[in-house]
Amino acid sequence: NVGGELRPFYVQTEQAALDLQYIYKDWLFKFEGIRKDSHFQNSYIASTAGFEYSFSNIFGGLDLGVIAEHLYDERGVGSLAAFNNHTFVGSRLALNDELSTELLVGAIFNNEEGDLNSLRVEGSRRINENWKWELEGNAFLNSKPDQLLHSFRDDDYLQFSINYYF
């Protein structure tokens, strides 16, 4: 703000990103990484890397996947990412029915302190050709005042929606 006037400020940024995914039999491996440099902020790298293993066609046709991912941002606590050295573990259940019923549950742990920081649930199922319901929930736990995640401590939610597709 100069003399009561707002002026836009655009930071020149150099950025490179890489997304990889490899599927081998019942395994899915993934990596997402970014290197970013700007005059406004020092150069840094951030990544998510993990796997999903699927147990297919169990208990009469269900698919059950187990998931593990490492969430990393080298800026640490000073990062604009709430999860900067954390591990996500979860499970995905697909009923393989006509209505595409799916459920994902998981938790995020702080690797440095061992705290459970977040619980997550996602579910969905088609009602018919045009309608589908979806459920999504997040609970944020065990954050400390110096962590970005602390600003979300009162933002737990459970959301249910019904969508129409045409």
What pLDDT, in 10s, does the model give residues 103-119?
999 999 999 888 899 99
pLDDT tens sequence across 3-58: 788 888 888 889 999 999 999 999 999 999 999 998 777 899 999 999 999 999 99
Report which DSSP code applies to 128: S
Pick from 150, 143, 122, 120: nearest CA to 134? 122
CB 32 within 8 A of CB 18: yes
pLDDT category at 148 given cuts 50, 70, 90 is confident
